[in-house]
């Protein structure tokens, strides 16, 4: 179990940044329908987990730092015991357990939430209500979430109140990981490393991508991971040139490369690893040239993961360095670069994605690409090259912890050099 000091600290940090006479309210996630009478496995909304550690539905959190009754400054509401539900779905969380997990001293039934909120909202100590929503620049979803519906209901109940957003506060807080979070993330990376090492021992021509995925999932489950942090990419040959390939159904062929983009979720925290290996255990000369080009750039940009650096700098430097590597690989010439359309750089044909993102409770965690790096941030480093006409797709990725000095690679020791990969596969 995660020490509840993590959640106590997180709530205190949030409360410290609220204006006077504020209330913050959160709702837990709801089960997602799959088909028929089935639901997808439950996953808690990340901000709710960050503040409570509770992995249950039908729950609320209320924080009112200025309310005179100290017992109601933090209240966790959980689903009341239901004997029928417990019989069919398993034992339910009780108030004592919820308090031990979260560190919240006052735990009530979720059926009491609106009564308590009403008292505080009209007390004179809750003039501004802060609501939670997922705010990520590149995320679009046509499905209305329970957080959005919850926000609408609160505004209908209290139309004359002022409102604020928790996202800017929590996004900034979540970018800096505590020691507890770093320890959990390192364990997630360790499990993912074990899965990749198993693949080095088992991958061979004629296997199917889904068989490789099965090896990975076996190691994840064997090591108590809850599953994938995101849809795994197991891409052989030309499939690796599709950046978010996830069908994982093709057969692996002798002479092709196999690109992994995998990561387990452990105690709700993510890991994110990319590696590229030869299906038959030996890189061709051309594959070596391309792989080492990406690896050289990765080693250079890793040096930029220091306090004061930023994601934009990582991206700009990577594209500049990869352009020179692509010239050496014969993909285009210096003269071609001079004559290129500045709005359509030639190198973007072979490298189309960003090189770094924050990682934490979400694999693409809270992000500010302009914010300078600070100790405690964990970010990916993931340059690549994708040559469709040659069926070559290569990405190499580590998770890096920012420190006062050089970054710490959370995948340290995992084979990354050509010689290391080939030696591991020959064994």
Catalytic residues: 37, 244, 261, 272, 353, 357, 364, 382, 386, 395, 397
Report which of 275, 273, 272 is spatially closest to residue 364, judged by C-alpha positions: 272
Give the helix/strand (H/E) hosting 107.
strand 106-109
Which letter, b or e, does each residue of 289-299 get, where b requires 16 or more Cβ atoms within 10 Å of its Cβ? Answer: ebbebbbebbe
Please, are residues 277 and 425 in contact by the beta-carbon 8 Å criterion? yes
Report which of 233, 238, 237 is spatially closest to residue 260, judged by C-alpha positions: 233
What is the spatial distance between Cα 286 and Cα 385, in angstroms, rounded to a whole number? 13
- 268 CB burial (10 A radius; 0-12, 13-18, 19+): buried
Please, are residues 357 and 311 in contact by the beta-carbon 8 Å criterion? yes
What is the spatial distance between Cα 222 and Cα 211, in angstroms, rounded to a whole number? 17
Report which of 389, 391, 393 is spatially closest to residue 352, judged by C-alpha positions: 393
Count the neighbouring beta carbons within 10 Å of the beta carbon of residue 242: 15
For the record, the structure tokens of 344 come out as: 């359509």
What is the spatial distance between Cα 133 and Cα 147, in angstroms, rounded to a whole number? 6
CA distances from 83 to 112, 150, 340 (A): 19, 27, 69
For the record, the structure tokens of 250 come out as: 């093709």
| Rg of the chain, C-alpha, whole Å | 24
What is the spatial distance between Cα 183 and Cα 185, in angstroms, rounded to a whole number? 6
């Amino acid at each position: 179990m995660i020490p509840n000091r993590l959640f106590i600290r997180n709530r205190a940090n949030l409360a410290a940044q609220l204006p006077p006479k504020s209330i913050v309210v959160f709702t837990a996630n709801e089960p997602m329908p799959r088909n028929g009478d089935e639901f997808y496995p439950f996953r808690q909304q990340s901000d709710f987990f960050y503040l409570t550690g509770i992995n249950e539905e039908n729950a609320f959190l209320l924080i009112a730092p200025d309310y005179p009754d100290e017992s109601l400054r933090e209240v966790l509401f959980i689903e009341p015991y239901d004997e029928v539900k417990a019989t069919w779905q398993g034992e339910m969380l009780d108030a004592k357990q919820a308090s031990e997990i979260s560190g919240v001293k006052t735990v009530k039934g979720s059926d009491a939430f609106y009564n308590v909120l009403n008292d505080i909202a009209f007390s004179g100590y809750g003039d501004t209500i802060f609501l939670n929503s997922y705010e990520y620049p590149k995320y679009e979803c046509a499905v209305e979430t329970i957080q959005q519906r919850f926000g609408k209901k609160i505004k209908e109940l209290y139309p004359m109140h002022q409102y604020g957003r928790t996202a800017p506060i929590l996004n900034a807080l979540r970018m800096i990981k505590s020691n507890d979070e770093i320890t959990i993330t390192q364990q997630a990376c360790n499990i993912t490393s074990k899965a990749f090492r198993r693949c080095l021992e088992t991958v061979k021509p004629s296997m199917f991508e889904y068989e490789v995925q099965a090896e990975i999932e076996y190691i994840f489950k064997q090591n108590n991971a809850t599953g994938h942090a995101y849809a795994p990419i197991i891409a052989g040959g030309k499939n690796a040139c599709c950046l978010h390939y996830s069908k994982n159904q093709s057969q692996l062929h002798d002479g092709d490369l196999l690109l992994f983009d995998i990561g387990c979720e452990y105690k709700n925290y993510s890991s994110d690893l990319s590696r590229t290996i030869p299906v038959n255990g030996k890189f061709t000369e051309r594959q070596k040239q391309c792989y080492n080009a990406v690896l050289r750039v990765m080693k250079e940009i890793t040096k930029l993961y220091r306090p004061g650096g930023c994601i934009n700098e990582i991206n700009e430097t990577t594209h500049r360095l990869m352009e020179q590597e692509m010239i050496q690989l014969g993909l285009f010439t210096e003269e071609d670069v001079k004559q290129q359309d500045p709005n359509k750089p030639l190198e973007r044909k072979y490298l189309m994605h960003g090189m770094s993102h924050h990682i934490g409770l979400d694999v693409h965690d809270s992000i500010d690409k302009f914010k300078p790096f600070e100790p405690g941030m964990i970010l990916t480093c993931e340059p690549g090259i994708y040559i469709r006409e040659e069926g070559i797709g290569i990405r190499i990725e580590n998770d890096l912890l920012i420190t006062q000095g050089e970054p710490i690679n959370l995948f340290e020791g995992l084979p990354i050099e050509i010689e290391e990969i080939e030696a591991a596969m020959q064994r």
